[in-house]
Amino acid sequence: MIRVGLTGSIGMGKSTTAEMFREAGAPVLDSDRIVHDLYRGAAVAPIEAAFPGVTVDGAIDRGRLTERVLGNPDALKRLEDIVHPLVWAARDAFLKEQEEKGTRIVVYDVPLLFETGADRTVDAIVVVSAPEDVQKARVFARPGMTREKFEAILAKQVPDAEKRARADFVVHTEKGIEAAREEVRAILDELRRR
């Protein structure tokens, strides 16, 4: 089974690209969705113990948690030490299920692929990219996004240029949906020939 790591900096179109892989028949493990599920389940108790007051109605309040970890490397490390092992366990369960189905190609949608070392667990890396002006326009169209939040997020991400340099494939999302979809199809065609 070929494991593909899909990543991209904030505002690059990674989620849309992940959906294109899914539509083209490649099962996608969405690490953000796993984290959202964990914030309503298995991660609630350990996160609340580490960051008292971030739980509302039995779930992690992402806004409160963000306030506690944004700009605080030690707090972020504590959070990652709780969440990452739970995400890896979900990944392992996903892989086992796909192996049992005989799936040839799976995609890991991981925003922090390089930053977490997950790039060492995949066979190919796809980076989703767009020019900086396109990225900023997308990001600042999001509700509640501020320059401070954007810069804090970028500060913990490997720069786009470095991601592209380390990638096996790059999907350029500034060209529009159909052009990106064609790039995804071409990537899958090449991977299927391996």
Q: What is the mean pLDDT of residues 58-64?
A: 95
SS (H, E, C) 148-168: HHHHHHHHCCCCHHHHHHHCC
To the question of whether residue 117 is assigned a binding role by annotation, the answer is no
Question: Average model confidence (pLDDT) for the chain?
Answer: 95
Q: Under a CB-based contact definition with an 8 Å cutoff, are residues 12 and 130 in contact?
A: yes
C-alpha dist (Å) from residue 124 to 32, 59, 77, 127, 134: 20, 35, 27, 10, 26
To the question of whether residue 145 is assigned a binding role by annotation, the answer is no
For the chain, the domains span: 1-27+104-194, 31-102
Counting residues of the chain whose pLDDT is more than 90, the rounded percentage is 89
| Tens-digit pLDDT profile for residues 146-174 | 998 899 889 889 999 999 999 999 999 99
pLDDT for the residue 47: 98
Q: What is the mean pLDDT of residues 30-59?
A: 96
pLDDT for the residue 177: 95
Considering the four listed CATH numbers 3.40.50.300, 3.30.70.600, 3.90.1010.10, 3.30.420.40, the one that applies to the domain covering 1-27+104-194 is: 3.40.50.300
pLDDT confidence tier of residue 99, bands split at 50, 70 and 90: very high
Confidence check: pLDDT of 71 > 90: no
Q: What is the mean pLDDT of residues 14-33?
A: 96
To the question of whether residue 16 is assigned a binding role by annotation, the answer is yes
pLDDT for the residue 78: 96
Confidence check: pLDDT of 116 > 90: no
Tell me the pTM.
0.87
| Tens-digit pLDDT profile for residues 120-139 | 999 999 999 999 999 999 99
To the question of whether residue 31 is assigned a binding role by annotation, the answer is no
C-alpha dist (Å) from residue 155 to 10, 51, 72, 83, 115: 11, 22, 12, 20, 11
To the question of whether residue 14 is assigned a binding role by annotation, the answer is yes
Give, in degrees to the nearest 5, the angle at Cα 182 between 176 and 187: 125
To the question of whether residue 12 is assigned a binding role by annotation, the answer is yes
Confidence check: pLDDT of 27 > 90: yes
pLDDT for the residue 92: 94
